[in-house]
Amino acid sequence: MSSDAMAIHAAEVGAGRPWVQTLHEWVTTVDHKRLGILYVLLALIFLIIGGIEAIVIRIQLMRPHNDFVSPQVFNRMFTMHGTTMIFFVIMPVMFGFANYLVPLMIGARDMAFPRLNAFGFWLTAFGGLLLYFSFVGGNGLYGAGNAPDVGWFAYAPLTSRAFSVGHSTDFWTIAVLVSGFGSIATAINIITTVLCLRCPGMTLSRMPLLAWMNLVMAALVILAVSPLTAAQIMLSIDRYLGGHFFDTQAGGSAALWMHFFWIFGHPEVYVLVIPAFAFASEIIPVFSRKPIFGYPAMVAATVCIGFISMAVWAHHMFTIGMNSMANTFFVLTTMIIAVPTGIKIFNWLGTMWGGRIQFKTAMLFCVGFLFQFLIAGLTGVMLGTAPFNWQLGNSYFVIAHFHYVIVGGIMFCLFGAFYYWFPKVTGRMLNETLGKLHFWLFFIGFHLTFDTMHIPGVLGMPRRIYTYEPGRGWDTWNLIIGIGAFIQGLAILIFVANLVFSYFRGSKAGNDPWDAWTLEWSVSSPPPSYNFASIPTVSSRRPLWDRKHPEDPDNRYE
Amino acid sequence: MAEKHKTEWRVVVGRATGIVVLLGGILLAAGLCNASAPPDNSVPSIFDPRSTPAESISHLSRFVLAITGLIFLVVFSLLLYAIVKFRNSDANSNREPAQVYGSTQIELAWTIIPILIVVVLFLATARVIHAIQDAPKPATAVEVTAIGHQFWWEFRYPALGIVTANELHVPVSDSAHPTPTFLKLLSADTDHSFWVPQLAGKTDLIPNRVNGMWIDPKQTGIFLGQCAQYCGTQHAKMLLRVSVDSPEAFDAWIHVQKQSVNRDDREVTGRQVFETTACVNCHAVGGTNATGRFGPDLTHLMGRSTIAAGAAENTSENLRLWVQNPGAIKPGSLMPAMKLSDADLDALVRYLETLH
C-alpha cells in the first residue's frame, strides 16, 4: 500500500478525530460507497417506522369493532405505511445497493456523476423528513398535526381541498415530488455509469446481471417517476392555483389521476422488483456453484419486462368502468408479462439444477424468494383476469398479493443481499446462527400473515377499513394475520441486532468469503477509496472464475 | 464438517415440512370454512354466487385457480427436487459441479408453453368480460340509480319515483321471466365502489362519471356488501344490504315506498323538533317541508333494518344515540351531533318511529 493509500485509509477509519469531522465527511461525501451506505441506513430507519405503522394496523384489526386507534389514525397509518415503504424504504435501499455495487461490479472507481449522486440522496432523505414532518405540521403549527390520510395512491377527489383540509395532502405531495426528483437524478446516474464506465473488456454482454437489471430499473424510474412528478405538480396547481385537473366539482376527472398514478404505479412495481431479481441473479449462482443459466435469456426477459410494464397500468383500474375492449386489452398485456417473468424463475431453477447448493442464510432467503415469488406471480395472473379482479380488486386478496411480491419477493431478496454483501461493505461476516433464526422466524411470520390474508379477501373483506362487522367469517383470519405480523416484527429486530452485533464483533470476512466470481470480491473488504488501484480488465462474465480456474476460463464457452 | 452439513440439512427439511403442513392446514381450514358457510349469506364469499355475473366470475375463477394451481405444483415440485437433490453433500463438497451456461431448446420450451397457457387464459377471460359487460338490457329490467355519498348509499328508482338509502330492494329474477336490476352508478363526492360479492363483481362510483353494472339474483334473502373504494374517514362503515324480494314482496315494498308519509298527529312535538332544527337541511321526509338532499331520505326510515349505512340496528336506543352523538356509532360521519334536550330527543325519536 502506498503512503497516499495509507493516509486515505487512516482518514476513513477516522481514529482519534472529533466526531464532528466524521459527521462532516459523511454529510458532504460524494463517494458512491458512502452514499450507498447512507441510502441503506435511511431505508432501515424508515423500515422500522413503516413496520411499526403496520403493527398498529394489524393490532386494530385483530378483532372486530376494536378501538385500539380511531378511524382517523388508522387511515393515516395505512397511508403512511404505504408511502413510507414504497418511496422511503424499498426505493432508497435499492438505490443504495445499486450505488454501492454497480461501480464495483463493472470495474469503475465511482458513479459517473458523484455530486449528482449526493444531491439525489439528500433529496430523498429530505423528502422522507418532509413526509414525517406532517405529523407536526399537517394542520399548521398550532398543535395537533396530522399525517396524510388519503391512501398511498391518493385518489382524486379525496385530495382536493374540499375533502382534504389543512396541509396533510401537501406534505404527501411535496415529499413524493422531492424524493421523485432525487430518484430521477440517481436513475440518470446509474444509466450513465453502466453505459460509460465499464472497465476494459466488459462488453454489455459480459456485464454482471446486477448491472443489467439496475440499468433497466433506472430507465423505468425515468419513465415512471416523471408522470408521477407531473401529476403531483398538477395536484398542487389544483389545490393552490385554482386548477381543475382532478377537481370533479369543477369538471375535472378523477379517472385522469388514476391513469397518471398507475402509469407510474405499475412500472414502479418493476422498479422495486427488478433490483431484487438482480440480487437473486448474483446470489443463486454463487451458492449453487454454477454460472447463471441462460444469461442472454435473462437479459432479454428483463428488457422485455421493462417494455411491457409500461403497457399494463390500467389493470389496477379494472373496476373503474372502462369498456370491455379496454379491459380486454389490459388483460392481454398483463398476462403476457407473466411469460418473461416465468422465464426468469425457470432460469434461476436451471441455475440451481445440477449445482452444489450451499444453504447459507443468503441462499435460504433467495430460495424463499423463488417459492414466494412463484405464488405471487400466480395470484397476479388471477388478478390480471379482469372478471376475477372485479371481485378481488381492492379486497384483502390484493393486499395479500402485493405483499407477497414486496415482502415475500423483494424483501426476501433484499435480506439475502444483506447477508451476501455485508462482509464486503463492513469487512465482517453477519452471524449465520442469528441469520438462520431471522430467516425462519420471518418465513413463518410471513406465511402466517400473508397466506392467511388471501382468505378474507375471498370472503368479501375490502382493504382500508379500520374495523369490520363480526360474523362475516373474517375474525379468525385477521387474528392469525396479526400474530404473524408480530413474528415478522421480532425477526426484523433480530436482523437489526445481527447487523449491530456483527458490525462490531463479527468474524473477519477477507476479500472473498463466498468464493464468488464478480469484481467486487477482488478488492479488500471494505473496498479501498476509488475501489481499484488499477482498473481491471475482464474477458468473461465471471472474471474471478477465470482467475481461479486459468485452465478452464469462461470465455471459452460464452 | 460434513456431519454438520448433514444435520443442518435435516433441520432444514424438518422445518420446511412443518411449514408445508402448517400451510396445508390453513388452506384446508379455509376450504372447510368456505364449504360450511352459514346458509343465511352472512359470509359474503365470492365462491358462493347467487347471480349470473357473480356465477360466471366464479366459474372463470375456478378455471384460473385450477390452471395456476397446476403450474404451482409443477414448478414447486421442480424447486423442491432441486433443493433436495442438488444440496451440498460430503461426496461433492470439494469440487465444482459441471458449469452449464444454458440451453436454447430449454429456453424455447419454457417460453412457448407459457405463451400457450396465456392464450387459453386470455380467451377464456375475454369471453367472460364480453358476457358480463356487454349483456343487453331486457325490457323487463328494473332500473336503479345508486349514488355514493360520504358515507352512505342513495338509491333512486327513476321509473317508480322511489328514493331510499343504504338498503337496496330488488326483485328475484328467474330464468323464465328474467327481471335483472341494472344499476347506474354515480357519486356525489369522492370515489366509492359497489360490491356485493355474492351478486356481482365491484364497480366504482366516480364523481363526474357514469358507470353501470347489473345483477339478476336467483334467490331471495339479504346479501351483504360494502363500499370497496377508500372514500374517507368512515369508509369502513359504509355498508350495503341488498334485499332480494319475491315478486309479490317487491311489489308490496314498491307500494309502501310510493306513499308519502302517514300523518301521525300524535307525534306533533317530535315533528316540530325535526322541522325546526337543522335536520331538514339534509334530510327529506315525503309530504312534509323536509326536503334536504345531503343525507338519506327518511320518508320510510322504519322500513329499514339498519341505520347509519348499516353501522347499527334500527332500534329506538340506537336512533336516540345516533341523533344525540353520531360519533359514538360512526366517528367522522358527516351527521352532526344535534345537541337536543332529553325531552326533545325523546319526542324526535318517537316521530322518527312513525316514518313507516
Residue A140, sorted as left (phi over 0), alpha (psi -120 to 50) or beta, turns out to be: left
User: Chain B residue closest to A548 (CA)?
Assistant: B96
Cβ of A473 under 8 Å from any chain B Cβ? yes
Cβ neighbors of B17 (< 8 A, separation 6 or more) are none
A263 CA to chain B: closest CA distance, Å?
A: 19
| Residue of A375, A390, A552 to mutate for B, most B C-beta atoms under 10 A | A390
Pairing label, strands B162-165, B211-215: unpaired
Residue B95 pLDDT level (bands cut at 50, 70, 90):
confident
Contacts of A374 in chain B (CB under 8 A): 72, 75-76, 79
Interface residue of B17, B32, B76, B96 to substitute, partner A, most A CBs within 10 Å? B96
Sign of the torsion angle spanned by Cα atoms A357, A363, A364, A370: negative
Nearest one of A200, A49, A39, A59 to A117, comparing CA atoms: A39
The answer to whether B118 faces chain A, any CB pair under 8 Å, is: yes
Q: Which of A155, A331, A395 sits opposite B191 (nearest CB)?
A: A155
Question: Closest chain B residue to A382 measured between Cα atoms?
Answer: B64
Q: Is B221 on the interface with A (CB under 8 A)?
A: no
The answer to whether B121 contacts chain A (CB < 8 Å) is yes
CB nearest to A338's CB, from B118, B132, B189: B118
Assign B25 a pLDDT band (cuts: 50, 70, 90). low
Q: Which amino acid is at A88?
A: F
Give the separation between CA B95 and CA B58, rounded to whole angstroms: 53
d(CA A117, CA B267): 75
Q: Which residues of chain B neighbour A328 with C-beta distances below 8 Å?
A: 125-126, 129-130
**Min CA distance, A284 vs chain B (Å)?**
12
A489 — alpha (psi -120 to 50), left (phi > 0) or beta? Answer: alpha
| Chain B contact probe: residue of A356, A392, A442 with most B CBs at under 10 A | A356
Q: Is B126 within 8 Å of chain A by CB? A: yes
Q: Tell me, what DSSP letter sits at residue A534?
A: S
Residue B98 to residue B81: CA distance in whole angstroms: 18
CA distance A112 to B166: 60
Q: Residue holding cell 435460504?
A: A364
Q: How far is A291 from chain B (nearest CA, A)?
A: 6
Closest CA to B204 of A473, A328, A248: A248
Judged by a CB distance cut-off of 8 A, whether residue B299 touches chain A is no
A142 interfacial to chain B (CB closer than 8 Å) = no
Packed helices A361-384 and A338-352: angle between N→C axes, nearest 10 degrees = 150
When scoring A238, A396, A465, A558 by the number of chain B Cβ atoms within 10 A, the one with the most, hence best to mutate, is: A465
The answer to whether A483 contacts chain B (CB < 8 Å) is no
Residue tagged 328494473 (cell numbers): B142
The count of residues in chain A is 558
Q: Which residues pair with B167 in a beta bridge?
A: B241
Question: CB-based contacts of B240: which residues, under 8 Å, 6+ apart?
Answer: B153, B166, B168, B194, B195, B196, B224, B225, B226, B227, B309, B310
Q: Per the CB < 8 Å rule, is B42 touching A462?
A: no
User: Within 13 Å and on the Cβ side, how many CA atoms surround A167?
Assistant: 18
Exposure pattern of B176-211 as b/e (b: 16+ CB <10 Å)?
eeebbbbbbbbbebbbbbbbbbbbbbbbbbbbbbeb
What secondary structure, in 3-state letters, does A13-73 show?
Answer: HCCCCCHHHHHHHHHCCCCHHHHHHHHHHHHHHHHHHHHHHHHHHHHHCCCCCCCCCCHHH
Q: What is the CATH number of the domain that holds B337?
A: 2.60.40.420
Cα–Cα distance for residue pair A455/A473, rounded to 1 Å: 10
Rounded Cα–Cα distance for residues B44 and B225 (Å): 7
Provide the chain A residues 382-401 that lie in CB contact (below 8 A) with chain B.
382, 385-395
**What would the DSSP string read from start to end of B91-131?**
GGTTSPPP-----HHHHHHHHHHHHHHHHHHHHHHHHHHHH
B332 within domain boundaries: yes
| CA B1 centroid distance within chain | 57
Asked if residue B229 is part of any domain, the answer here is no
Please check the confidence at residue B322 and state whether its pLDDT lies above 70. Answer: yes
Looking at residue A513, the DSSP 8-state letter turns out to be T
Q: Residue A107 region, left (φ>0) first, then alpha (ψ -120 to 50), else beta?
A: left
CA distance A131 to chain B (A): 20
pLDDT score recorded for residue B38: 55
Residue among B101, B126, B310 minimizing CB distance to A557? B101
| Residue B4 counted as domain residue | yes
**With contacts defined as CB-CB under 8 Å, which chain B residues touch A290?**
97-100
Contact B133 A358 (CB under 8 A): no
* Helix residue spans in chain B (DSSP H): 2-35, 52-85, 104-133, 247-258, 268-276, 279-282, 316-324, 326-329, 342-352
| A349 and B CB contact within 8 Å | yes
What share of chain B in percent tops pLDDT 70?
87
Q: How many A/B residue pairs have CB atoms within 8 Å?
A: 295
Look up the domain containing B4 and give its range: 1-36
Q: Which residue type is seen at A438?
A: H
Instruction: Give the chain A residue nearest B89 (alpha carbons).
Output: A356
Q: Does A437 touch chain B (CB under 8 A)?
A: no
Task: State the average pLDDT over residues B18-47.
Answer: 65
Rounded to a whole number, what is the largest CA-CA distance in chain A? 75
CB contact under 8 A, B226 and A443: no
**Adjacent-strand bridge partners of B205:** B192
Classify residue B71: in a domain, yes or no. no
Give yes or no for A356 touching B (CB within 8 A): yes
Q: What does the block give as the cell for A403?
A: 405483499
What does pLDDT average to over chain B? Answer: 90
For an interface test with A, the pick among B4, B80, B183, B229 (most A C-beta atoms closer than 10 Å) comes out as B229
Identify the pLDDT of residue A552. Answer: 87
Look at residue A513 in the predicted model and tell me its pLDDT.
96
Tell if the CB–CB gap between A297 and B46 is shorter than 8 Å.
no
Task: Judge: B233–A72 Cβ closer than 8 Å, yes or no.
Answer: yes
Question: B28 — contact with chain A (CB < 8 Å)?
Answer: no
User: Which domains, ranges and CATH numbers included, belong to chain A?
Assistant: 19-556 (1.20.210.10)
Q: How many domains are contained in chain B?
A: 2
- Alpha carbon distance B199, B215 (integer Å): 6
ipTM of the complex: 0.92
Instruction: With respect to residue B197, please indicate whether it lies within any of the assigned structural domains.
Output: no
Q: Does B30 touch chain A (CB under 8 A)?
A: yes
Please answer whether residues B351 and B332 qualify as being in contact, where contact means their C-beta atoms are separated by less than 8 angstroms. no
**How close is the nearest chain B Cα to the Cα of A514, in Å?**
13
A252 touches B at CB < 8 Å: yes
To which residue does cell 406534505 refer? A171
Is the Cβ of A346 closer than 8 Å to some Cβ of chain B?
A: yes
What are the backbone angles phi and psi of residue B19, rounded to the nearest 5°? -70, -40
CA distances from A97 to A70, A153, A208, A291, A515 (A): 38, 26, 14, 22, 20
Interface of A with B in 155-214 (CB under 8 A): 155-158, 163
More confident site: B268 or A218: A218
Question: One digit per residue, pLDDT tens: chain A, 558 residues?
Answer: 444 554 455 555 555 788 999 999 999 999 999 999 999 999 999 999 999 999 999 999 999 999 999 999 999 999 999 999 999 999 999 999 999 999 999 999 999 999 999 999 999 999 999 999 998 876 655 544 689 999 999 999 999 999 998 889 999 999 999 999 999 999 999 999 999 999 999 999 999 999 999 999 999 999 999 999 999 999 999 999 999 999 999 999 999 999 999 999 999 999 999 999 999 999 999 999 999 999 999 999 999 999 999 999 999 999 999 999 999 999 999 999 999 999 999 999 999 999 999 999 999 999 999 999 999 999 999 999 999 999 999 999 999 999 999 999 999 999 999 999 999 999 999 999 999 999 999 999 999 999 999 999 999 999 999 999 999 999 999 999 999 999 999 999 999 999 999 999 999 999 999 999 999 999 999 999 999 999 999 999 999 999 999 988 888 887
In terms of Cα–Cα distance, which of A64, A168, A138 is closest to A469? A64
Are B82 and A382 in contact (CB < 8 Å)? Answer: no
Is residue B18 included in any domain, yes or no? yes
Give A-chain residues touching B202 at CB under 8 angstroms.
319, 390-391, 393-394
Contact between residue A280 and residue A369 where contact means Cβ atoms under 8 Å apart: yes
Q: How confident is the model at residue B3 (pLDDT cuts 50, 70, 90)?
A: very low
